[in-house]
Amino acid sequence: MSVKISVVTPSYNQVRFLGETIRSVLGQGEDVHEYFIVDGGSTDGSAELIRKHAESPAGGIDWWISEKDKGQADAIARGFARATGDIICWLNSDDVFLPGALRRVRKAFDAHQEWDALTAWHVRMDAESRLLSMHRIPGESPRLARWGIHHVNQQTCFFKRWVYEKVGGIDLSLHCVLDGELWSRMFDLGTKWGHIPAYLAGFRQHSLAKGSSWLAEYRREEQWMREKYPHYCARTPKHALGLLAYRAAQILSGRHLRAKADERRNRGKTLAEVFGGFSGEDEKA
DSSP annotation of 274? H
pLDDT at 253: 97
Q: How far apart are CA 157 and CA 137, in angstroms?
A: 12
Structural domain count, the chain: 1
In this predicted structure, the answer to whether residue 79 has a pLDDT above a threshold of 90 is yes
Contacting residues for 155 by C-beta, under 8 A, at least 6 apart: 91, 92, 95, 97, 122, 200, 201, 202, 203
Question: Is 212's pLDDT higher than 90?
Answer: no
Average pLDDT score over the chain: 94
pLDDT interval class at 277 (50, 70, 90): confident
Q: What residues form DSSP beta bridges with 89?
A: 7
207 band by pLDDT with thresholds 50, 70 and 90: confident
User: Residue 64 pLDDT more than 80?
Assistant: yes
Cα 280 from Cα 285, distance rounded (Å) = 15
Domain assignment of residue 263, yes or no: yes
Range of the domain at 69: 5-274
Mean pLDDT in residue range 214-240: 94
pLDDT tens digit string along 122-155?
999 999 999 999 999 999 999 999 999 999 999 9
Is residue 201 very low, low, confident or very high in pLDDT (cuts 50, 70, 90)? very high
Residue 19 lies in a domain: yes
Residue 211 above 80 pLDDT?
no
In sequence order, what are the beta bridge partners of 34?
Answer: 6
Q: How many CB atoms lie within 10 A of CB 254?
A: 11
What do you get for the CA distance between the two ends of the chain, in Å?
Answer: 40
pLDDT band at 83 (very low <50, low <70, confident <90, very high): very high
For the domain that residue 143 is a member of, what is the CATH number? 3.90.550.10
Q: Is residue 33 included in any domain, yes or no?
A: yes
Distance from C-alpha of 62 to C-alpha of 233, rounded to nearest angstrom: 38
For the stretch 44-57, pLDDT in tens is: 999 999 999 999 98
3-class DSSP string for 250-264: HHHCCHHHHHHHHHH
Per-residue pLDDT averaged across 253-273, rounded? 97
Q: Is residue 165 one of the residues assigned to a domain?
A: yes
Short-list 136, 137, 89, CA closest to 259:
136
